[in-house]
Amino acid sequence: MSDVEALKKEAGIAACAYVRSGMNIGLGTGSTVKHTVVELGRMIHEEGLEIVGVPTSLATEKLALEVGIPLVKLSEIDGLDIVIDGADEYDPNFQLIKGGGAALLREKIVAQEAKAMIIVADDRKKVQTLGAFPLPIEITPFAHQATIRVLARTLDCRVNCRMAGDNPVITDNGNMIADAHCGPSITQPKVMESEILNIAGVVQVGLFNDMCDVVVLAGSNGVETLVNPNGRLE
């Protein structure tokens, strides 16, 4: 296991400290939170933890079932106690960029139903200003190139359709992903989110504003828990 992967595993496991029996848990998507899912499965089998999970992607659903986490549909329960997810970037105000795994729409739906959001990450994701990581935007397949042109004009940066080889990446919802290469310049993420969502053809944008309560951050000195002073957890 590489040093980076070891850090991801450490952070993913540490986030499980926020989980209690009886909780409804949102299960995020990505290379760090997969360790959380595996650890929750271990806690169910070895420690008698009783939870139900709502996955944010088909990949997470598959992993959760493999490790024995009982799953329910979000529409079948009255909200979530917490969601544990990863992030591609987070800034000092606990605003996030997500969507590197092309699951941002489901992730955002799950996040807005949760009473609190725990982010697991390694210290490479910590930035002063959002945007070095290309901003993912989920768009409809219909006239997607036209939508991309409007996005490029609106954001004044290069926007491309994310590809997997010769074909566009298709999300679990049958949409496409446009990546906006705006650089580390997103100083007003809430304003940008509103501008992007106002464009016809846009389904959702990977700016997660005012949602993150805690970041469990793994770095060379171990795991650090950063609590949003304006968040919902102490």
Q: How far is CA 119 from the centre of its chain?
A: 8
User: Which pLDDT does position 17 carry in this prediction?
Assistant: 96
Clarify whether residues 152 and 55 are in a common domain.
Answer: no
Q: Is residue 48 part of a domain?
A: yes
Q: How far is CA 206 from the centre of its chain?
A: 8
Clarify whether residues 111 and 26 are in a common domain.
Answer: yes
pLDDT score of 221 more than 90 = no
Q: Which helix (H) or strand (E) holds 150?
A: helix 144-155
Clarify whether residues 117 and 170 are in a common domain.
Answer: no
Cα separation, 54 vs 75, whole angstroms: 10
Could you tell me where the beta strands, DSSP code E, fall in the chain?
24-27, 52-55, 82-85, 89-90, 96-97, 117-122, 135-139, 158-161, 163-164, 167-168, 176-181, 202-205, 207-208, 214-219, 222-227
Clarify whether residues 175 and 105 are in a common domain.
Answer: no
Clarify whether residues 9 and 102 are in a common domain.
Answer: yes
The active-site residue out of 107, 138, 195, 224 is 107
Clarify whether residues 218 and 192 are in a common domain.
Answer: no
User: Which pLDDT does position 234 carry in this prediction?
Assistant: 65
Cα separation, 234 vs 26, whole angstroms: 19
The parent domain of residue 167 ranges over 135-204
Cα separation, 34 vs 101, whole angstroms: 12
Q: Is residue 234 part of a domain?
A: no
Q: Is residue 83 part of a domain?
A: yes
Could you say which DSSP state residue 7 is in? H
Whole-number mean pLDDT of the chain? 96
Residue pair 5/122 in contact (Cβ under 8 Å)? The answer is no
pLDDT tens digit sequence for 166-204: 999 999 999 999 999 999 999 999 999 999 999 999 999
47 as an active site residue: the answer is no
pLDDT tens digit sequence for 124-138: 899 999 999 999 999
Cα separation, 18 vs 81, whole angstroms: 10
User: Which pLDDT does position 2 carry in this prediction?
Assistant: 77
pLDDT score of 10 more than 70 = yes
Residue pair 201/142 in contact (Cβ under 8 Å)? The answer is yes
Q: Is residue 44 part of a domain?
A: yes
State mean pLDDT over 93-117.
97
Q: What are the C-alpha distances in Å from 23 to residues 26, 40, 113, 115, 233?
A: 10, 12, 13, 11, 15
Q: Dihedral angle at the C-alpha atoms of 196, 112, 233, 92, nearest 10 degrees?
A: -10
Q: CATH number of the domain at 139, please.
A: 3.30.70.260
Q: CATH number of the domain at 37, please.
A: 3.40.50.1360
Query: What is the pLDDT confidence band of residue 1, given thresholds at 50, 70 and 90?
Result: low
Cα separation, 171 vs 103, whole angstroms: 7
Count of domains forming the chain: 2
Q: Side by side, which strands form the sheet with 207-208?
A: 89-90, 96-97, 207-208
Cα separation, 86 vs 99, whole angstroms: 9
